[in-house]
């Protein structure tokens, strides 16, 4: 195919309408494969034979809810056998896995999908052949009676994210020509797999196969399977992850009729086809694909749909057994507070304690999806170094955690508790279903803490180190100007003179002292309390404690670049910048000393920022 043909040159003003690479690829597939005229429209069900053989649509749904569409993606057609995996999953959740799995097998049959044959236990081989699918419909009928069809239709609608109708003409045609399925039904009745009236069960089955969908619908349905049962467009958890994973397993081995082995060898994506011309493919944790083209090959699979799936898998290397994920890439940074401390300014006695015990707080920043292998790798990194008192796992860049990863992480946290290591988790900003198992498994662990931001977590751990080693953190203690780093080297008389230029201000907790964007008119020396420096978007730049100055950038800038808010009760000496500048001009030696001190403070901030960047680029 010509999917790698050079993209045409566009003017700059065309940028907004330019196609993203994946959409461009799907367009190339549609263009190249539309000329494929092999295969025939299904005719053994007369109404299906009326489909337009030229129809061809491709849709791909991502797990963040974006849907790509090319061609005839809104043309309705009947779902046919593509209903089978969804009804099987529905049966698992409705009747329980034990009952369903005791009546329907999960082995490939090697026979055509409509074979009138059961396995050695007189049960259907799997739920993807007609015998297994009719048995699934029978199980739903057993549980829901006359409401079975509506129950199935609504469930399929939740997978698609919209209400789905039934094509009555196709239903009538299927029912009129469905003698082979009736034979299968009575065979199942004779084997006591179907316990209800065979005609009633087949009524459900024929109507379920006649539900109308589009290529867009089946892409979203496939993406819901790929997303552990969560519809990526609506956000609804349609069915349980257990039912979804077992369904994908059977789709892998038996979803493409007697072409299933060849399919998984060449394409490697769990899939299901239907004689209406549809193919849905669900790549777990990646995407859902839906295609529609009614020309079928000898196996009953869409000729164009097969080509689309093969091209997508080959071009983007999507075969599920050809994964290249490396567990070692899950750690983006691994350091202690000696390399990157919190943004809280520390008084000299606190700095001394933290410098002596910097190995006692270890921070591991993680990224991507935490799988079993990822968490195991992290655990082994912990075991390979001296044991700290605090371990902080920062998860703000973690997109998801698997159930196996969550269980292994919880077991690791419990193991650390045995050695009196406190685990701090930061960065989980919202409650999602995938984090619920971790929360359940770590209940009752006393050595576990949770902070929203990494900096808050590091600051809390630093405080604990200070306390444990006899230090104090007293924000109410009054500091003198002689303790100000900006004023280091000034004599007592010079400090007294400087103090006379200012006014002591008092601020209440939460009160705004400086507002971003306002003119810079004052310099503040914090005497007691704590203030936070934040950007307008809420990101904290620094926490300043007594003995430090703030607003000093007003010496260089005419307007404030950040907000400063009182964290608790605060007192500060406010000196107008014009008076401070005059003081420096009148005392050149003092002015030079202050600017040297300021240069050193700014250099220290730059060193800390560079250290932070180095951590992210060298791990």
Same domain, 300 and 332: no
pLDDT number for residue 389: 94
Residue 322 lies in a domain: no
Confidence of residue 6 (pLDDT cuts 50, 70, 90): very low
* 332 Cβ neighbours under 8 A, 6+ residues apart: 365, 366, 367, 397, 616, 619
Same domain, 304 and 340: no
What CATH number is associated with residue 285?
3.40.710.10
Last residue of a domain, one of 468, 499, 534: 468
Would you call 74 a catalytic residue per the annotation? no
Q: What is the mean pLDDT of the chain?
A: 89
Same domain, 132 and 251: yes
Residue 87 lies in a domain: yes
pLDDT number for residue 299: 87
Same domain, 371 and 249: no
pLDDT number for residue 432: 60
Catalytic residue among 68, 151, 257, 335: 257
Report the domain count for the chain.
3
The more confidently predicted of residues 402 and 97 is 97
pLDDT number for residue 552: 87
Average pLDDT on 128-135 reads: 94
Last residue of a domain, one of 438, 468, 498: 468
Would you call 443 a catalytic residue per the annotation? no
CB-CB contact of 190 with 131 (8 Å): no
Same domain, 431 and 502: no
Same domain, 375 and 398: yes
Residue 157 lies in a domain: yes
Same domain, 296 and 365: no
Residue by residue, DSSP assigns 276-335 as TSEEEEEETTTEEEEEE--EE-TTS-BHHHHHHHHHHHHHHT--TT-----GGGGEEEEE
What CATH number is associated with residue 589?
2.60.120.10
Residue 558 lies in a domain: yes
The model's pLDDT over 414-431, given as tens digits with 9 standing for 90+, comes to: 888 888 999 999 988 655
Distance between CA 94 and CA 142 in Å, rounded?
11
The model's pLDDT over 523-543, given as tens digits with 9 standing for 90+, comes to: 999 999 999 898 887 778 888
Same domain, 310 and 374: no
pLDDT number for residue 612: 62
Please state, for a pLDDT cut of 90, what percent of the chain lies above it: 56
Would you call 84 a catalytic residue per the annotation? yes
pLDDT number for residue 485: 86
Task: Answer yes or no: is pLDDT of 502 > 70.
Answer: yes
Residue 473 lies in a domain: no
Average pLDDT on 431-456 reads: 82
Confidence of residue 14 (pLDDT cuts 50, 70, 90): low
| Cβ-based burial of 396 (10 A; exposed 0-12, middle 13-18, buried ≥19) | middle
Question: H-helix or E-strand containing 617?
Answer: helix 588-618
What CATH number is associated with residue 458?
3.30.750.24
CB-CB contact of 89 with 244 (8 Å): yes
Question: From the CB of residue 198, how many other CB atoms can be counted at a distance below 10 Å?
Answer: 19
Last residue of a domain, one of 468, 503, 527: 468
pLDDT number for residue 603: 80
- DSSP structural state of residue 7: P
Residue 39 lies in a domain: yes
Give how far Cα 470 sits from Cα of 214, 284, 345, 421, Å.
69, 52, 19, 19
Average pLDDT on 546-559 reads: 87
Confidence of residue 619 (pLDDT cuts 50, 70, 90): low
Task: Answer yes or no: is pLDDT of 613 > 70.
Answer: no
pLDDT number for residue 526: 92
Same domain, 55 and 137: yes
Would you call 186 a catalytic residue per the annotation? no
Catalytic residue among 81, 109, 340, 342: 81
Same domain, 530 and 437: no
Same domain, 240 and 353: no
Distance between CA 486 and CA 594 in Å, rounded?
6
The model's pLDDT over 234-265, given as tens digits with 9 standing for 90+, comes to: 999 999 999 999 999 999 999 887 788 889 99
Beta-strand pair 331-336/295-296: unpaired
pLDDT number for residue 566: 93
Same domain, 94 and 211: yes
Task: Answer yes or no: is pLDDT of 22 > 50.
Answer: yes
Average pLDDT on 286-306 reads: 94
Catalytic residue among 275, 361, 424, 466: 275
Task: Answer yes or no: is pLDDT of 272 > 90.
Answer: yes
pLDDT number for residue 32: 96
Would you call 570 a catalytic residue per the annotation? no
Residue 111 lies in a domain: yes
> To 10 degrees, what angle do helices 492-499 and 577-586 make?
150
Residue 13 lies in a domain: no
pLDDT number for residue 431: 57
Catalytic residue among 41, 68, 70, 84: 84
Average pLDDT on 53-74 reads: 95
The model's pLDDT over 381-393, given as tens digits with 9 standing for 90+, comes to: 887 778 899 999 9
The model's pLDDT over 97-126, given as tens digits with 9 standing for 90+, comes to: 999 999 999 888 777 777 888 888 889 999
Tell whether pTM > 0.85.
no
Segments forming the whole domain that contains residue 549: 481-615
The more confidently predicted of residues 108 and 282 is 282
Task: Answer yes or no: is pLDDT of 89 > 50.
Answer: yes
């Amino acid at each position: 195919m010509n999917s790698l043909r050079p993209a045409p040159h566009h003017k700059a003003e065309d940028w907004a309408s330019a196609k993203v690479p994946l959409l461009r690829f799907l367009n190339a597939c549609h263009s190249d494969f539309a000329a494929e005229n092999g295969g025939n429209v299904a005719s053994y069900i007369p109404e299906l034979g009326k489909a337009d053989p030229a129809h061809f649509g491709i849709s791909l749904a991502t797990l963040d809810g974006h849907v790509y569409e090319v061609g005839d993606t809104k043309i309705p057609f009947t779902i046919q056998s593509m209903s089978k995996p969804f009804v099987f999953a529905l049966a698992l959740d409705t009747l329980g896995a034990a009952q369903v799995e005791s009546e329907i097998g999960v082995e490939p049959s090697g026979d055509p999908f409509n074979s009138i044959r059961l396995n050695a236990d007189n049960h259907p081989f799997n739920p993807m052949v007609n015998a297994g699918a009719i048995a699934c419909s029978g199980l739903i009928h057993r549980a829901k009676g006359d409401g079975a069809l509506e129950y199935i239709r609504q469930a399929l609608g939740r997978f698609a994210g919209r209400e789905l109708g039934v094509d009555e003409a196709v239903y009538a045609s299927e029912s009129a020509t469905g003698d082979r399925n009736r034979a299968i039904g009575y065979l199942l009745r004779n084997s006591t797999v179907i316990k209800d009236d065979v005609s009633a069960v087949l009524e459900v089955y024929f109507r379920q196969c006649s539900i109308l969908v589009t290529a867009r619908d089946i892409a979203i349905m496939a993406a819901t399977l790929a997303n552990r049962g969560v519809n990526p467009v609506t956000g609804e958890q349609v069915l349980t992850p257990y039912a979804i994973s077992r369904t994908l397993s059977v789709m892998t081995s038996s979803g493409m009729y007697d072409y299933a082995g060849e399919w998984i060898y060449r394409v490697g994506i769990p899939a299901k086809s239907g004689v209406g011309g549809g193919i849905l493919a669900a790549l777990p944790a990646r995407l859902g694909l839906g295609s529609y083209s009614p020309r079928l090959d000898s196996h009953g699979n869409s000729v164009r749909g097969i080509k689309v799936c093969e091209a997508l898998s080959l071009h983007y290397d999507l075969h599920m057994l050809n994964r290249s994920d490396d567990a070692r890439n899950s750690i983006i940074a691994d350091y202690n507070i000696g390399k990157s401390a919190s943004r809280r300014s520390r008084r000299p006695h606190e700095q001394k304690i933290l410098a002596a015990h910097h190995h006692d707080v270890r921070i591991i920043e993680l990224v991507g999806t935490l799988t079993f292998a990822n968490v195991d790798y992290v655990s082994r990194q912990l075991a390979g170094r001296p044991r700290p008192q605090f371990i902080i796992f920062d998860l703000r860049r973690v997109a998801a955690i698997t159930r196996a990863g969550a269980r292994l992480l919880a077991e690791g946290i419990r193991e650390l508790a045995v050695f009196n290591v406190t685990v701090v988790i930061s960065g989980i900003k919202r409650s999602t279903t995938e984090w619920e198992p971790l929360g359940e498994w770590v209940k009752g662990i006393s050595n576990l803490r949770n902070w929203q931001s990494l900096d808050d977590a590091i600051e809390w751990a630093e405080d604990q180190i200070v306390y444990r080693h006899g230090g104090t953190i007293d924000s109410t203690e009054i500091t003198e100007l002689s303790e100000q780093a900006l004023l280091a080297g000034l004599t007592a008389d010079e400090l007294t003179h400087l103090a006379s230029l200012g006014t002591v201000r008092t601020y209440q907790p939460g009160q705004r002292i400086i507002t971003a964007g306002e003119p810079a008119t004052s310099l503040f020396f914090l005497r007691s309390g704590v203030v936070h420096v934040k950007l307008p978007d809420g990101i904290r730049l620094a926490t300043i404690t007594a003995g430090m100055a703030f607003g000093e950038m007003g010496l260089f800038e005419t307007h404030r670049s950040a907000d400063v808010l009182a964290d608790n009760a605060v007192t500060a000496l406010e000196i107008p910048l014009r008076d401070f500048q005059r003081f420096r001009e009148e005392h050149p030696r003092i002015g030079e000393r202050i600017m040297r001190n300021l240069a050193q403070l700014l250099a220290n901030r730059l060193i800390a920022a560079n250290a932070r960047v180095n951590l992210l680029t060298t791990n």
